[in-house]
């Protein structure tokens, strides 16, 4: 028997008799959001995040050049620039002056060289120097800000007309173990495996090591490591020399992670990113990325064949 | 959250909502006796739910593409606080490398007290507070 309230009413028995009118439908709104992400992502064959433990190691450069390498091999490719506060993929692809086309079916993403579809926060900000700020009085609350950023990424997945895509590369923001990348990666259903980017310095390798361990603890498949700035190519004679002292090979052996390839520092690569023009496919850097892309497809094929046997 | 009309033993139904300051006011109505009740939502809670892309009170139309992102992006870095000409001139006297910090601090001070415009007296008040 429920407690009697003033007026002789018993709240418990009143509630029992009433049918709950769920006008807000909060649970179903969340479910619908998840269904929309799933429906869009079902049409993407391979979803590959590109991450690292450190900022400034060249994740975006590697993402762009991997996308180009795959597109040159005839695959349909997309890039999700998940770095919301420092988006640079559109500039590297030479399409920073474009934007989404909003239709009833969803947002049509701009396409860059080789018809690579790109989704980035950069397309929603009108001036290059503008910071990414959100409306609201509590804009400094990390909880609110985190929720907001997650929702933006969810909309990028659910509301963009990605269409049929063979490879979607996700350029994750800088951050390591307990930071955002694993959380962001958790938003995307059925990731096929991550590519880790590092540079050969003891500092970067140390942090990357933690990221690898943490990603594995989360059950994320790691396709392999790309070593950026592995050396320096002399612009005069073309000889390659060491640039930094870290031992990437040691991490590769210690953690049993494949080294997908090494990219030396090269001014023409840097220029191509700044100018938003891909390197010629005959350029030695392009050939290295082509090789890395082949290693990735081999690893994906291997993964699929292993799962088939289970 | 739901409200019950104890007289009619019926749930109050969502009637309307309006934006009040940084929060929203939601009115509920008893479908039987017409009794109306209004509540003011906590601004922080409202924003958190809104930032998840959830429409408070339920959706009446399907969401538009990138709706949450596009409607919440504050491109002009608008703070909702105006500066009087005199106050702006005084702000200019602060060395450039600390000016943004001072500006943000004064705006936060004004917002906390419900001021819409920063005038010289508001700056004085803020100064007293900052100087202890």
pLDDT digits (tens, 9 = 90+) for A267-292: 899 999 999 999 999 999 999 999 99
Q: Which residues pair with A197 in a beta bridge?
A: A226
Q: Output the domain CATH number for residue B117.
A: 1.10.8.550
| ipTM of the complex as predicted | 0.75
On whether both B41 and B90 belong to a single domain, the answer is no
Nearest CA in chain B to A19: B11
CA distance A163 to chain B (A): 15
Q: Is residue B34 part of a domain?
A: yes
A147 and B64: CB-CB below 8 Å? no
Can you tell me the mean pLDDT for B36-46?
A: 81
B56 → closest Cβ in A20, A24, A141:
A24
In the stretch 133-152 of chain A, residues with CB closer than 8 A to chain B read 133-139, 141, 143-144, 147-148, 151-152
Residue A157 with chain B: CB contacts under 8 Å: none
pLDDT at residue A248, as a whole number: 83
Can you tell me the mean pLDDT for A83-112?
A: 94
On whether both B21 and B63 belong to a single domain, the answer is yes
> Does residue A138 surpass a pLDDT of 90?
no
pLDDT at residue A122, as a whole number: 93
On whether both B51 and B90 belong to a single domain, the answer is no
Domains, in order of start, for chain A: 53-309 (3.40.50.300)
On whether both B13 and B45 belong to a single domain, the answer is yes
Do A21 and A141 meet the contact criterion of CB atoms below 8 Å apart? no
On whether both B61 and B88 belong to a single domain, the answer is no
CA–centroid distance for A181 within its chain: 8
On whether both B65 and B97 belong to a single domain, the answer is no
Can you tell me the mean pLDDT for B16-41?
A: 85
DSSP sequence for A174-197: S--TTSHHHHHHHHSSS---EEEE
Between residues A43 and B49, the one the model is more confident about: A43
d(CA A6, CA B112): 40
* b (16+ CB within 10 A) / e for A186-218: ebbeebbbbbbbbbbbeebbebbbebbebbeee
Between residues B42 and A46, the one the model is more confident about: A46
A137 and B74: CB-CB below 8 Å? no
Question: Which range scores top for mean pLDDT: A115-119, A266-270, A306-310?
Answer: A115-119
The residue among B49, B72, B95 that closes a domain is B72
The proportion of chain B whose per-residue pLDDT surpasses 90, expressed as a percent, equals 23
pLDDT digits (tens, 9 = 90+) for A11-26: 888 888 888 777 777 7
Query: What stretch of H or E contains A308?
Result: helix A284-309
Q: Is residue B28 part of a domain?
A: yes
Residue A126 with chain B: CB contacts under 8 Å: 75
> Does residue B20 surpass a pLDDT of 70?
yes
On whether both B18 and B66 belong to a single domain, the answer is yes
pLDDT digits (tens, 9 = 90+) for A162-177: 999 999 999 988 764 3
DSSP 8-state assignment for residue A59: H
Query: What stretch of H or E contains A33?
Result: helix A26-41
Residues in contact with A224: Cβ distance below 8 Å, sequence separation at least 6, in sequence order = A195, A196, A257, A258, A259, A260, A295, A296, A299
On whether both B61 and B112 belong to a single domain, the answer is no
Radius of gyration of the CA atoms of chain A, in A: 23
Q: Is residue B77 part of a domain?
A: no
Q: Name the residue range of residue B21's domain.
A: 4-72
pLDDT digits (tens, 9 = 90+) for B103-126: 888 988 888 888 889 999 999 999
> Does residue A305 surpass a pLDDT of 60?
yes
On whether both B10 and B31 belong to a single domain, the answer is yes
Average predicted confidence (pLDDT) for chain B: 83
User: How many structural domains compose chain B?
Assistant: 2
pLDDT at residue B131, as a whole number: 79
> Does residue A308 surpass a pLDDT of 70?
no
Can you tell me the mean pLDDT for B100-105?
A: 86
Q: Is residue B102 part of a domain?
A: yes
On whether both B94 and B57 belong to a single domain, the answer is no
Q: How far apart are the first and last CA of chain A?
A: 56
Q: Is residue B96 part of a domain?
A: yes
Residue B6 with chain A: CB contacts under 8 Å: 5, 7, 9, 14
Q: Is residue B125 part of a domain?
A: yes
On whether both B58 and B87 belong to a single domain, the answer is no
Can you tell me the mean pLDDT for A224-250?
A: 85
Q: For chain B, say whether A213 makes contact (Cβ under 8 Å).
A: no
> Does residue A156 surpass a pLDDT of 90?
yes
pLDDT at residue A280, as a whole number: 96
Q: Is residue B113 part of a domain?
A: yes
On whether both B60 and B116 belong to a single domain, the answer is no
Pairing of strands A117-119, A77-81: parallel
> Does residue A139 surpass a pLDDT of 60?
no
pLDDT digits (tens, 9 = 90+) for A46-91: 999 998 878 889 999 999 999 999 999 999 999 999 988 889 999 9
């Amino acid at each position: 028997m429920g407690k009697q309230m003033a007026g002789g009413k018993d709240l418990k028995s009143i509630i029992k008799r009433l049918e709950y009118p769920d006008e807000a439908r909060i649970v179903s709104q969340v479910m619908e959001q998840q269904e929309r992400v799933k429906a869009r992502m079902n049409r993407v064959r391979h979803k590959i995040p590109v991450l690292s433990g450190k900022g400034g190691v060249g994740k975006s450069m590697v993402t762009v050049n991997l996308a180009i390498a795959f597109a040159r091999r005839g695959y349909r490719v997309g890039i999700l620039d998940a770095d919301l506060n420092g988006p640079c993929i559109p500039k590297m692809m030479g399409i920073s002056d474009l934007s989404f086309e909003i239709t009833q079916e969803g947002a049509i993403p701009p396409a860059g060289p080789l018809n690579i579809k790109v989704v980035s926060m950069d397309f929603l900000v009108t001036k290059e120097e503008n910071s990414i700020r959100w409306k609201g009085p509590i804009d400094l609350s990390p909880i609110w800000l985190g929720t907001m950023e997650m929702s933006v990424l969810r909309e990028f997945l659910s509301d963009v007309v990605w269409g049929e895509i063979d490879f979607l590369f996700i350029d994750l923001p800088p951050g390591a173990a307990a930071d955002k990348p694993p959380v962001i990666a958790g938003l995307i259903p059925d990731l096929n495996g991550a590519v880790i980017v590092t540079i050969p310095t003891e500092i970067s390798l140390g942090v990357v090591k933690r990221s690898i361990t943490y990603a594995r603890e989360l059950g994320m498949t790691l396709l392999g490591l790309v070593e950026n700035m592995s050396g320096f190519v002399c612009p005069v004679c073309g000889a390659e020399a060491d640039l930094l002292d870290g031992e990437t090979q040691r991490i590769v052996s210690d953690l049993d992670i494949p080294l997908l390839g090494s990219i030396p520092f090269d001014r023409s690569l840097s220029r191509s990113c700044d100018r938003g023009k891909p390197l010629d496919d005959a350029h030695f850097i392009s050939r290295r990325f082509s090789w890395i892309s082949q290693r990735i497809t081999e690893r994906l094929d291997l993964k699929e064949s292993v799962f088939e046997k289970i | 959250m739901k409200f019950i009309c104890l007289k009619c033993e019926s749930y109050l139904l969502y009637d309307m909502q309006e934006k009040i300051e940084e929060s929203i006011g939601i009115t509920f109505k008893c479908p039987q006796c017409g009794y109306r009740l209004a509540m003011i939502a906590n601004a922080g809670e409202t924003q958190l739910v809104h930032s998840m892309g959830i429409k408070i009170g339920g959706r009446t139309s399907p969401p538009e593409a990138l709706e949450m992102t596009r409607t919440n992006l504050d491109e002009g870095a608008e703070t909702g606080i105006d500066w009087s000409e005199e106050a702006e001139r005084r702000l200019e006297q602060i060395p450039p490398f600390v000016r943004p910090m001072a500006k943000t601090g004064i705006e936060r001070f004004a917002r906390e007290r419900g001021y819409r415009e920063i005038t010289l007296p508001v700056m004085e008040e803020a100064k007293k507070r900052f100087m202890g």
